[in-house]
Chain A
Amino acid sequence: MISKNALGPLFLCLIIWFSGSRSAVAENCQSLQVRHGEDFISVHCGGAPSAAMDAKGRLWVTFVQDRHVYVSYSDDEGDTYFTPVQVNAIAEDTEYNGENRPKIIIADSGEILLSWTTKTSSNFTGEIRFTRSSDGGKTFAIPRTMNDDDLMTGHRFDSLFLTSSGRLYLTWIDKRDLDAAAARKETYPGAAIYYTTSDNLGATFTRNFRVSHNSCECCRIAIAPYGDDEVAILWRQIYDEHVRDHAIAVLGPYGDVAGLNRATIDDWYIDACPHHGPTMLESTQPGQYHISWFSAGTIHNGIHYGRYDIASGTTGAIIKVDGTPGAGHPALAQSDDTLYLVWKGFNGVASQLQLMKSIDNGVSWSQPETLFATESASDHPLLLSSANRVFLSWSSKEFGYIFREINQ
């Protein structure tokens, strides 16, 4: 028989055990819906989540559920989440898939900045939406449409970035020039890249600026800092009307586009939607960018890594990361002197999240290791760097939403 005095420590042990198991066992949407009903709003049930960490280490995650964008935060790096806050009161057909997801950035001053794409018809039309919260995520301003052409055409695949100087860049794939060409009965391969900037954390934005004609229509745009106040972007671009490789450019605050150049020469001759956008990361070497991309070209086939040098306009140190057919969707991050590259592979049975590292600026890489494997649906993996730590941000049917440090 247990004495009365022993019950206290036993109870404490049970609390510790249960609280420990709560974080050890991943929540997934199915288990949450069993407990809370099918309409339960959760980061584990929402579509295509993105994450950001604020200056105090609070994790913020945005996701789409039931045609609304939500934001939820966690104070224990993703073990538990506070009740999600609905961002857009009026439902909209928000895009959420591997290449097209809501984006979130937390300014040092606390403003929560969000962008996403809302589909406006079945014919590839959409609008670029932006909103922000100035009260720590309790409420959000009514979303605004950022494309300024008032055209019912394609504005999709937004990317959002806040420079260290505090300037906000929002870039996307835009079809206004395609429509104009069609009206002139001229051919126009693909779409265009446009952007806008804000120097007051999204209170106001500049007009829209064009970066380039003839981008691919359906791949995410990678974005990274260029100095303190500008950004470099990397996107899939159409060359010679049928080849879908990658272009890079540096964008300034007021529409000044510099260094527009071809970044990959893969020779992927295809009139199709690859739905495979690149990833890029500023190197510790000034003017250099780590890039990783997918191609099924005659020169490069599979996921590749390379280092692009702005001054010379060339990509060097190219290696094939994974050439198996199911491999795709790489993400890059850096912590201290270590580069991290994750991607998703498929071995015929399971999707595998693969990781490899480099400690010599991408010259040589570790053997790939499998972080997770799942035999059900999963999102593209994303990486997030914060205070010399690197986190995996990944959603899957089996494990729910996972936010986990990978540089331990």
Chain B
Amino acid sequence: MSTRNLIQVTALTLCMLTHVNVMAQDSPGNISAFGNSSFAELKTELSGQPFVVSLWSVDCLPCRVELEMLGELKRQNPSFPLVLISTDSIEQREEAIYILEEHALDVIDSWMFADAFVERLRFSIDPSWHGELPRSYFYAKDHSFTAHSGILTREKLLELSGFLLVEN
């Protein structure tokens, strides 16, 4: 990662977030159940704040590439406002924790789908999402958002988060 990128990410982090309750660091493997109203609640808690959502699954190889990047990002910028949601059933919690641990992402709060009616959970996040993974969202302060399908590289993250720098 270039110095310029590092500065950009640091600046982005500082601009985006100073303190967000729902992302408070907690016990390892702190995974919450993601239900029909979870995303709306999350947005309420993050009202007026920008954040990035990464949707992943234990069964998704490209997601591992993205998790690796996000893990590195969180190590460098622990307060980066990242919302991690696994689309696996929360019954697979142990498997998810094992993967998150590999990328040191088990220390942050994250969510797992907790209703087998996944179509409705997906719809609650974004009605126009087809379910492909990884999928990410870039929420601005006013909660207007940009969606991205496929692996989120650090370059892509910077590109899609760029408008947040301008706004702030």
With contacts A326-B119, A351-B119 taken as known, whether A272 is within 8 angstroms of B132 at the C-beta atoms is yes
Is A272 a contact partner of B123 (Cβ separation < 8 A)? no
In this assembly, does B127 line the interface, its C-beta being within 8 Å of a C-beta of chain A?
Answer: yes
Max count, chain A CB within 10 A of own CB: residue among B120, B128, B134: B120
In this assembly, does A40 line the interface, its C-beta being within 8 Å of a C-beta of chain B?
Answer: no
CA A217 to CA B98, docked complex, whole Å = 22
In this assembly, does B26 line the interface, its C-beta being within 8 Å of a C-beta of chain A?
Answer: no
* Contact-size category for A: 20 to 34
Q: Which B residue sits closest to A217, measured CB to CB?
A: B61
In this assembly, does B35 line the interface, its C-beta being within 8 Å of a C-beta of chain A?
Answer: no
Residues of B within 8 A of A257 (CB): none
State which residues 326-369 of A face B: CB under 8 Å: 326, 328, 346, 348-349, 351
CA A176 to CA B155, docked complex, whole Å = 31
With contacts A122-B98, A377-B115 taken as known, whether A273 is within 8 angstroms of B57 at the C-beta atoms is yes
CA A325 to CA B129, docked complex, whole Å = 6
Q: Which A residue sits closest to B126, measured CB to CB?
A: A325
Selected contact of A325 from candidates B57, B117, B128, B133, CB within 8 Å? B128
Residues of A within 8 A of B134 (CB): 272
Smallest CB separation, B56 vs chain A (Å) = 10
Is B151 a contact partner of A271 (Cβ separation < 8 A)? yes
CA A88 to CA B107, docked complex, whole Å = 39
In this assembly, does B62 line the interface, its C-beta being within 8 Å of a C-beta of chain A?
Answer: yes
In this assembly, does A209 line the interface, its C-beta being within 8 Å of a C-beta of chain B?
Answer: no
Q: Which B residue sits closest to A95, measured CB to CB?
A: B59
CA A296 to CA B135, docked complex, whole Å = 13
In this assembly, does B118 line the interface, its C-beta being within 8 Å of a C-beta of chain A?
Answer: yes
Q: Which A residue sits closest to B95, measured CB to CB?
A: A122
In this assembly, does A274 line the interface, its C-beta being within 8 Å of a C-beta of chain B?
Answer: yes
Smallest CB separation, A330 vs chain B (Å) = 14
Is B59 a contact partner of A124 (Cβ separation < 8 A)? yes
Selected contact of B132 from candidates A217, A296, A349, A378, CB within 8 Å? A296
Selected contact of A272 from candidates B116, B118, B135, CB within 8 Å? B135
Is B117 a contact partner of A377 (Cβ separation < 8 A)? yes
The A interface, classified by DSSP as helix, strand, loop or mixed, is: loop
Residues of A within 8 A of B129 (CB): 325
In this assembly, does B60 line the interface, its C-beta being within 8 Å of a C-beta of chain A?
Answer: yes
CA A275 to CA B58, docked complex, whole Å = 13
Is B61 a contact partner of A348 (Cβ separation < 8 A)? no
In this assembly, does A270 line the interface, its C-beta being within 8 Å of a C-beta of chain B?
Answer: yes
Is A376 a contact partner of B127 (Cβ separation < 8 A)? no
In this assembly, does A294 line the interface, its C-beta being within 8 Å of a C-beta of chain B?
Answer: yes
Smallest CB separation, B21 vs chain A (Å) = 30
State which residues 94-142 of B face A: CB under 8 Å: 95, 98-99, 115-120, 122-123, 127-135
In this assembly, does B149 line the interface, its C-beta being within 8 Å of a C-beta of chain A?
Answer: yes
In this assembly, does B162 line the interface, its C-beta being within 8 Å of a C-beta of chain A?
Answer: no
Q: Which B residue sits closest to A374, measured CB to CB?
A: B117
Smallest CB separation, B150 vs chain A (Å) = 4
Is A271 a contact partner of B62 (Cβ separation < 8 A)? yes
Is A272 a contact partner of B99 (Cβ separation < 8 A)? no
In this assembly, does A58 line the interface, its C-beta being within 8 Å of a C-beta of chain B?
Answer: no
Smallest CB separation, B31 vs chain A (Å) = 15
Is A346 a contact partner of B119 (Cβ separation < 8 A)? yes
Residues of B within 8 A of A294 (CB): 130
Is A273 a contact partner of B132 (Cβ separation < 8 A)? yes
In this assembly, does A221 line the interface, its C-beta being within 8 Å of a C-beta of chain B?
Answer: no
Residues of B within 8 A of A270 (CB): 132, 149-150
With contacts A326-B119, A375-B117 taken as known, whether A124 is within 8 angstroms of B132 at the C-beta atoms is no
Pick 14 A–B contacts, CB within 8 A, sort by A.
A122-B58, A122-B99, A272-B132, A272-B149, A273-B57, A273-B59, A273-B63, A274-B131, A274-B132, A275-B132, A296-B149, A326-B122, A326-B130, A376-B117
List 15 other contacts, CB 8 Å, given A271-B150, A273-B63: A218-B59, A218-B60, A269-B150, A270-B150, A272-B62, A273-B57, A273-B59, A275-B131, A276-B131, A276-B132, A325-B130, A326-B122, A375-B117, A375-B120, A378-B117
Q: Which residues of B contact A (CB under 8 A)?
A: 57-63, 65, 95, 98-99, 115-120, 122-123, 127-135, 149-151
Q: Which residues of A contact B (CB under 8 A)?
A: 122, 124, 217-218, 242, 269-276, 294, 296, 325-326, 328, 346, 348-349, 351, 375-378, 397
Q: Give the 10 A-B CB pairs with smallest separation, nearest first.
A: A377-B116, A271-B150, A346-B119, A271-B151, A377-B117, A272-B150, A273-B60, A270-B150, A325-B128, A272-B132
